[in-house]
Amino acid sequence: MFQKYLHLERFGTDAVDGINLGTCHIFPKLDGTNASFWVDDEGVFHCGSRNRELDIHNDNAGFMNWAIQQESLVNMARALPNHRFYGEWLVPHSIKTYRDEAWRQFYLFDVLGANGEFMHYDDYSVLCKRWGVEFIPCTLKATNPTYEMLHEHALKNTFLLQEGQGYGEGVVIKQYRWKNRYGNPAYAKLITSAFKEAHIKEMGGQVLTVDLVEEKIAQEYVTSHLVEKVIAKIRTEEGAFSAKHIPRLLHTVFHDLVTEELWEAIKKHKNPRIDFKLLNHFGVKQTKILTPALFGI
């Protein structure tokens, strides 16, 4: 059965608000057409476009007729039945300046496992190298990147482009296992231009960490003692602690962090500028880390 790839949301919209708060993997965005392939339980090889399953008579710019002849794709799909392999089939769209040898090639950018979860880049890139399948490399691994940092990197994208022929479409921002405010997995896109690919696949992209004072304060002051104290208080007042009390737990932990610990944190960090929305975000994150069973982690 055909499964459509998730929609990339524009960076800065509600659907991906907060996706940059954590460890992100950044990828060049190619300007071709979305394509996919998979093998079903019976060993049949299938191909898809962005919105539908393909056949050789109802193809997607020639993708299926090309793909069924590629042993690398077929063998990888047969080794991993019921996995969905998504990528970009590079045919002319808006950008016409990709290198000659880059055209009419498939560049994998995601793998949906049989368990319904997307594989991490570190895992599917190894599979691609094993089977000889081209993939879009991660060009930057960044912790808490700001819009300005992402935009700066996006302006350097020359992946697969002819020398001196401008920049690519933009970048894709992924934070694996992240879900948006609506409880859905989501990736973001920043449309401008992005990175050089020299040695990226084998040598890896840059590694960047932005230290946020709000994250440090949460890690230092949202402690097991604080969280357990709040849980005990709720249990005493309610007679038990259950999932329905989790919103109260998160609210109370943040309240206690601000009213009981913030003065000490301000002195320690020398009167920093604090974004309380970020502080709440990292307070929630730290509470989840300390009580993983409550959140099904």
Q: Each residue of 251-273: pLDDT tens digit?
A: 999 999 999 999 999 999 989 98
How high does pLDDT run on average in the chain? 90
Q: Is residue 154 within 8 Å of 193, Cβ to Cβ?
A: yes
Q: Angle, to 10 degrees, between the axis of helix 224-238 and the axis of helix 276-290? A: 80
Give me the pLDDT at residue 137, please. 97
Q: pTM of the prediction?
A: 0.77
Q: Angle, to 10 degrees, between the axis of helix 224-238 and the axis of helix 246-256? A: 130
Q: Which residues of 240-250 are buried (b: 16+ CB within 10 A; e: fewer)?
A: ebeeebbebbb
DSSP secondary structure letter of residue 158? B
Q: Counting runs of H as helices and runs of E as strands, what totals does the chain give? A: 10, 10
Show the tokens assigned to 116: 């319904």
Give me the pLDDT at residue 204, please. 63
* Share above pLDDT 90 across residues of the chain, in percent, rounded to a whole number: 74
Helical H segments across 181-259, by residue range: 200-203, 213-221, 224-238, 246-256
Give me the pLDDT at residue 205, please. 65
Asked if the model's pLDDT at residue 9 lies above 80, the reply is yes
Closest CA to 178 of 295, 291, 284, 21: 21
User: Which residues, 6 or more positions from 124, have their beta carbon under 8 angstroms from its beta carbon?
Assistant: 108, 110, 111, 135
For residue 208, name the pLDDT band (cuts at 50, 70, 90). Answer: low
User: How far, in Å, CA of 64 to CA of 46, rounded?
Assistant: 8
User: How far, in Å, CA of 138 to CA of 122, rounded?
Assistant: 9
Show the tokens assigned to 113: 């496992």
Residue 183 in 3-state DSSP?
coil
Asked if the model's pLDDT at residue 202 lies above 50, the reply is no
User: Which residues, 6 or more positions from 48, have their beta carbon under 8 angstroms from its beta carbon?
Assistant: 2, 3, 35, 36, 37, 38, 54, 60
- When pLDDT is averaged across residues 159-179 and rounded to a whole number, the result is 90
* Cα angle for residues 32, 35, 38 (degrees, 5° grid): 160
Give me the pLDDT at residue 164, please. 81
* Model confidence pLDDT, tens digit, residues 277-297: 999 999 999 999 999 998 876
- When pLDDT is averaged across residues 224-237 and rounded to a whole number, the result is 92
What CA dihedral angle connects 64, 66, 72 and 77, to 10 degrees? 0
Q: Is residue 110 within 8 Å of 92, Cβ to Cβ?
A: no
Q: Is residue 43 within 8 Å of 49, Cβ to Cβ?
A: no
- When pLDDT is averaged across residues 136-151 and rounded to a whole number, the result is 93
Show the tokens assigned to 37: 């392939």
